[in-house]
Structures are given as structure tokens and as C-alpha cells.
Amino acid sequence: MAKAKTIFYCTQCGNETPKWQGRCSACGAWNTITEQPASAAADSKKRGTAAFAPVGKARRPQPIAEVEASDELRFHTGMSELDRVLGGGAVKGSLVLVGGAPGIGKSTLMLQICDNLCQFAHVLYVSGEESERQIKLRAQRLGIRSEGLFLFSETNLEEIVAAVEEQKPEILIVDSIQTIYNGDSNASPGSVAQVKECTMTLMHLAKGMGITVLVVGHINKEGSLAGPKVLEHMVDCVLHFEGEEHNSYRILRAAKNRFGATNEIGVFEMGEQGLSEVPNPSEALLSGRPQDTPGSCVTCVMEGVRPVLAEIQALLTPSAYGNSRRSSNGFDYNRAMMLSAVLEKRGGLTISNCDFYVNVIGGLSVDEPAADLALVVALASSFRDKPVPYDLAAIGEVGLTGELRAVHAINQRLSEVRRLGFTKCLVPARSSGKLIVPEGLTLIRITTIREAIAALI
């Protein structure tokens, strides 16, 4: 018997190679080359996605002046936080990918929005992981009793396409894309080839029939979406559902959005009745904040166009060993190390012989420079064992020479700081643009971190 021929391709860029290699010659990524039967790849190229594409009259190129784009058809999902992340609501004919860790609440979120969507649309919920009975039991626990919701437990792509053509739903939910397979391909379900081909078919359904498709995706052990990198390029929106195992708060973040702003977030809380929206995340993240405790400082970060207050905590203890330990949770580790070096060199505090721990409360990931000053103040407070005033927030970027730099959207940040009851705010002496100070808020303008330490601690 002749040996079956195989090809190798990169899961990041899709480049094909005749043999395995540790590094992709096209994109330079390491350990991304996987194997696939050559027959399956050939069949896929011959077949393409025409077999499942909606049948219609032949199309022709149109001049841009004749393309109708005056009205973008959007509809509300019933959850304002999800609508915010999507850019004002879901768009008809779009393909949305929702990824997250196991048990984070992806399926719960999809099932909960069905309660509102079924009031004006025909929804088909396809699950490759649960039976219809399991979905019904979960819907009863969540209090969902929608008459316009149709359940279909199937993993075969051909059967799903046939059901869509028969039911003609306005909204299709697929949970999850890693369980769906095309019977004409020899690759196993969840493989790169299957995920890529199934997603391409769903994209043709969405664009050809005007169906809004919501696809649930798994993540791998590195924390990125499982499957080929091209999967994120094919869809219109990529939403990441984040949260910690022992924390009830969940954050929905837009990594890609063709119809709205990226890096927008929605905050939810997981309870006994499913996910509930958190319209005021700043207040929720600051709940339980201790008073008169060293090593804590509040800052304001921008998540998309939304200002969110975050509490940054730092702990410095004398190291009992030769090498000091460094740990950072929710704050970029390399930037935290840089700020500790600036604090020692420019701030005059000898912290190199101390164990260093940084934590952002609530599971929020802070990655913008505006939180630099808050971390420096928290470190100095912990080092000198003196608390930062409870009604004070700190906003500013710290440079390598210890200077304070202006940050963008300072007026929105100050408004949110004052709205949450803070009366003082530490800000750079120079600001980009006209500064509007809310009533009742006192600004403490500084130029270096040494001035900040002297003024507060």
C-alpha cells in the first residue's frame, strides 16, 4: 500500500511546506508547523467553499458610487455591555468570534442574549458540546423561556448548513467552532484545517444570506484562540472573555472590530442566575478598598472610550535570600521592573534588596503608561510604610529620568475620578490640551517622582 502523502503548514500564516521545520520561513514563528493529509488539502482547494455557498444570481463588480452604505443595520442584543463592546450593537450579516477559557461563561452569555433576540428574530442555537436537553435545562436555570429559539445539537457542517437553509434564521449561534467538522476532510475535528474551512463556510453563510453569526471559540494553554491565526482575520469581530477562576467579575474585551472601536470592554458578574451586567465598573473594582493602608493607590485607565478606576497595590519586604523576588499580576512585568529602577535611581529609595509584589485588584489588566505614577506612589508608600490619602488618585506617565509626562483623555479621567468621590488628584504639571477641572477636585501638579513622594509620603 502506498504511503499517504502529507503536507505541512504554519498555523500562524498558513504557509505550506513539503517537510516539517521548527521555524516558519514565511512569518518566522517558531513551533507553528503542523501536518495535514495532502488529499484533504487538495480536496479543500478544489471544493473551496462553493459547495456550501448560498445559491443566487451571478454578481458583478459595482462602482463604489452605486454601493448602498447609508444605513448600517444594527440591533441590540439585550445586554448593554455587549452592545458597547460591539460598537453599539450587533451588525446584520457579521461574523463574531467569542473566545475564552473553559468555564468562563461563553455559553452562558450566548444563551442569555437569546432571551432578548428571540423577541424580534428567529435564532438557531447550534451546539456541538451539549444535547438539546442539556441546553434546555441550562436555559431553565437561567430563566430563559423564548419561543423563537431553536436548538440543534450537531457537529457535522453539512447538517448545520442544511438546517440553516431550511430554518432561515436571522441569527445563528455556533458553540463551539472546534467541535464542528466537515465530513469531506480527513482532518480531525478541532484541527487547523477543519477550523479554517468551517469558519470560511460560516462566513459565506453570514455574508451571502445576511445572517448574524456568533461563534464560540476555545483558547489554548498559551491563552490565545485555538486554531490558525487566519481565523481572527476571517471574522469581523474578535471578543475575548476574561476573568479569574476565584473572581466573580468577567471582562469582555474587543480585540478586533470592523464596526467599532477596539480595546472596548464590558464588565459582567457571574452569579447563580448567570451573568449580570456591571454598568459602573469603577465602583465595583474599588469596593472593599482598605483605608489607611500603605501600598495602595488608585489610578484611572482608559478602556476604549470608557474611563475605569483601578486600584494598584504594591508590597515591598526585605529579601531573606540573595536574590530578590519579583512578581506582577495585572501590570506589565517589564514596565514594573523599569519603574522600580527609576524609583531607586531618581526617587532615592533603595528597594533593590526588597521582594517586590504588584497586584491590580479585580482581575483588570493595566497596560497603559497613565498608571505609572500610581505604581510608583504605591511602591514608595509600601517602602516607607505610610498610607496614601484615601481620597487621592494619581495619573501620569513616568520617564526614565523620573519626569512626569502628560497623558491623553485627561479630562475624561478627571471627571471619572471626581464622580467616584475623590477630592485630590496627582497629575503632571504639563497637560496636552485645555484642562477642565471638575468642581470639588483639587489638582496636585508635579514634575518629577521625587516631588510626588515628598508631597504625599
Band (pLDDT 50/70/90 cuts) for residue 55 is very low
Mean of the per-residue pLDDT values of the chain:
86
User: Is pLDDT of 56 > 80?
Assistant: no
State the cell numbers at 165.
Answer: 437553509
Band (pLDDT 50/70/90 cuts) for residue 184 is confident
Sort residue 297 into left (φ over 0), alpha (ψ -120 to 50) or beta: beta
Write the CB contacts of 434 (distance below 8 Å, at least 6 apart in sequence): none
Q: How far is C-alpha 215 from the chain's CA centre? A: 15
Tens digit of pLDDT for each residue in 243-272?
A: 876 678 888 989 899 988 877 888 899 888
Considering the domain 284-456 in this protein, what is its CATH number? 3.30.230.10
Mean pLDDT for 222-236 is 79
CB atoms under 10 Å from CB of 221, counted, come to 6
**Any idea where the domains of the chain sit in the sequence?**
6-47, 73-279, 284-456
Which range in 187-196, 217-226, 255-264, 402-411 is most confidently predicted, on average pLDDT? 402-411
The pLDDT score that the predictor gives to residue 39 is 54
Does CATH place domain 73-279 in 3.40.50.300? yes
Mean pLDDT for 368-382 is 95
> What percent of the chain lies above the pLDDT cut of 90?
52
Tens digit of pLDDT for each residue in 79-134?
A: 999 999 998 899 999 999 999 888 889 999 999 999 889 988 999 999 999 999 99
State the cell numbers at 349.
Answer: 529609595
Band (pLDDT 50/70/90 cuts) for residue 232 is confident
User: Is pLDDT of 442 > 80?
Assistant: yes
